[in-house]
Amino acid sequence: MNNFRNFNLFALIILISVSCTNTMTVKSPDKNNSVTLEIKNKGILFYSIQSHGIKAIEKSLMGMDIVDSALNFNSGLVFVKANKSVIDETYSLPTGKTSLYKNNANESVFVFKNSHNKELSVVCRAYNDGIAFRYVVDSPVEVTIKKENTHFSIPQNTRSWIMDYVPHYENFYQERLLDTVGIKTLSYPALIRIENKLWMLLTEACVYDQPATHIKKTNIGNQLVVELPETQYSVPGKWESPWRTFILGTKLATIVESVLVENLNPPSTISDFSWIKPGVAVFPWWGNYMANSYIDTLKMYVDLAAEMNWKWIEFDVSLVGSPFRTSKLWETTKWLPDFTRYAYSKGVNVYGWDEINILKTPEGRQHIYGKYLELGIKGIKIDYIDSDKQYAMLFRKDAMEDAAKNKLMVSFHGETVPHGQRRTYPNVMTLEGVRGAEYYTFSTSPSPEHNCTLPFTRNVVGSMDYTPVTFTIRNENPRTTTYAHELALAVIFESGWLVLADRPKAYLDSPAKEFLKKLESTWDETRFIDGYPGDYVCIARRKSNKWYIAAINAGKARSVNIPLDFIGKGNYSIKIYEDKPGDDMTNLQIREELVSSSTVLQVIMASNGGFCTIIE
């Protein structure tokens, strides 16, 4: 009996000590990353993040403003309990920088109560490549959120690559000292360099039934805050915030290779991936705004795709008779079935295009998706969303779900950045949310510096429909990149539908035709080789037993050395597609070389140049 009493007393002491603690920490499996929650005076909750011994996020405020005052969690909090678990799983997706996704983290759910005896849960995950946390408020009635009070206190004297917010996310990731950025709204993802030792990519994940947020720079040091795109929004009952996501590493490889954003999403709603077909696509609109109005022009692009072993054509169906905005003419155009039959006779699949305004209701989606199925069209690009508000996020979710039910693949344009939704809806092939090659047709074009920043920012968080490899120099907005630079973008940028934008002649007459015919759009493995944001980047991607290696450069000519110790044993005869010495940026030379795993491949890139090769 005494032993039983002593055991109860011991358990009570443990319970009291846990309940009274003011600090709570979760560490990654390798112990390099940690997030700490702390209750300070008046029951106010703060957090901080450490990575590799460096403070990534200094003590920062947590909380939210909810209309129901009983759900005030900004002060008066007391710790109740912690539930710990280990996440260790692998899963596959039909698109992405890898074919096998590994999700391994330590998770703790910290539960707090406020003065009204209401509970707030903070779910914290610590990964070897980052940290994530989210809020959970479980309510029997609707929860209306006015503001999320999550702050990000960044150490002083840090460099940043962040986009000034625009609704379609088609802007530049400016390199700036974060201290010098004034009060303004900025966009995810934000790349930050801390103490010249640590890299951090700040973003959010898992956004379906609530607004996607932005980050706002305040007038207090390097402090950022979460900003909603609307004054308030409501969710029925249980509110789970998006994951506040921090990809962390001492090397840029950790950032570029990370799949943390996908890991923070629910598992796939689709069990059978057999109908999901990523691939290389041709894009008639870039070369001729009215191309979709003429069957002979479209057939020319189908013939291009067939010749090049590419499997898709983007037929902007509702642009029949219109260069930019939806027309109803396509529904009475009699040659559409003839065209889709022609495409499929050549082994080329077709996906279409339409606007949110046509698809925003269940009836609108049922009508358009049904018409597509009748015509044999297997996917759709949905455009002009241009919003992060709750209605727009709910629309995307409904559009993905309904497309999956109809076995249609989806691309979104006029778009926010990815939040990892391709894990839950693998029928999502790609998203825009990037200043891509379409800007050559009407505005300030993508710069070499911009191209050399995207692999470290936008493309980290998901597929990116940049529409690359535009060899033609357009008079209205000529490019400043070399031919080899443009060619390399097909490997540097990841997109489930790799949509090539130039005219047929540019590809059919290309000296790199052999390389172009071997392009892939999905990868089994991705390795970051070398680079620095805005300067240059070198990436290797594996598909089965083939390695694709590419690099691009901004500014002055640069020599890159690439150890090939990651390729298989044996000797390989390869062709290197690189800049030809001289001032003509349209020149390309093809050099043959014998390599093995002991080779250090050396390539000289011209100013704003690039190179690529396949080792098979």
Give dist(CA 319, CA 485) in Å, integer.
31
Kindly tell me if the per-residue pLDDT of 468 is higher than 60: yes
User: Shortest CA distance to 306 belongs to which of 337, 353, 254, 345?
Assistant: 345
Give dist(CA 134, CA 243) in Å, integer.
5
pLDDT of residue 16: 35
Kindly tell me if the per-residue pLDDT of 288 is higher than 90: yes
Q: At what angle do helices 295-308 and 336-345 cross, to 10 degrees?
A: 10
Give me the residue label for tokens 């609530």.
Answer: 210
Sequence-separated contacts (24+) of 468-471 with Cβ below 8 Å: 468/436, 468/437, 468/493, 468/498, 468/500, 468/501, 469/500, 469/501, 469/502, 469/516, 470/286, 470/437, 470/440, 470/501, 470/502, 470/506, 471/502, 471/506, 471/507, 471/510, 471/586
Topology of the domain comprising 467-493+515-616: Immunoglobulin-like (2.60.40)
List, for residues 512-555, the tens digit of each pLDDT value: 999 999 999 999 999 999 999 999 999 999 999 999 999 999 99
Three state DSSP letters for 486-548: HHHHHHHCCCCEEEECCCHHHHHCCCCHHHHCCCCCCCCEEEEEEEECCCEEEEEEEECCEEE
Kindly tell me if the per-residue pLDDT of 6 is higher than 90: no
Kindly tell me if the per-residue pLDDT of 374 is higher than 90: yes
Kindly tell me if the per-residue pLDDT of 10 is higher than 60: no
Residue ranges with strand state E in 114-235:
119-127, 130-137, 143-148, 151-153, 159-163, 173-177, 184-186, 190-194, 198-205, 214-217, 223-227, 233-235
Task: Give CA 137 to chain center in angstroms.
Answer: 27
pLDDT of residue 215: 97
State the chain's mean pLDDT as an integer: 95
Cβ atoms of 442 and 415 closer than 8 Å: no
Kindly tell me if the per-residue pLDDT of 333 is higher than 90: yes
Look up residue 205 and give its amino acid: A
Which residues sit opposite 110 in a β-bridge? 82, 122
Residues in CB range of 55: below 8 A, 6 or more apart: 48, 49, 155, 194
Residue 127, token pair as written in the block: 């990964």
List, for residues 122-171, the tens digit of each pLDDT value: 999 999 999 999 999 999 999 999 999 999 999 999 999 999 999 999 99
- Supply the DSSP symbol for 164: B
pLDDT of residue 478: 85
Topology of the domain comprising 269-433: TIM Barrel (3.20.20)
Kindly tell me if the per-residue pLDDT of 8 is higher than 60: no
Cβ atoms of 143 and 64 closer than 8 Å: no
| Per-domain residue ranges of the chain | 22-263, 269-433, 467-493+515-616
Listing DSSP states for 288-343 in one string gives -TTGGG-HHHHHHHHHHHHHHT--EEE--GGGTT-SSS--GGGGG-TTHHHHHHHH
* CATH architecture for segment(s) 22-263: Distorted Sandwich (2.70)
Reported as a pLDDT band with limits 50, 70 and 90, residue 21 is: low
CA distances from 162 to 11, 140, 212 (A): 50, 39, 17
Reported as a pLDDT band with limits 50, 70 and 90, residue 17 is: very low
Name the strand (E) or helix (H) holding 401. Answer: helix 390-405
- Supply the DSSP symbol for 583: S
Cβ atoms of 429 and 411 closer than 8 Å: yes
Identical fold, 22-263 and 467-493+515-616: no
pTM of the predicted model, to two decimals? 0.95
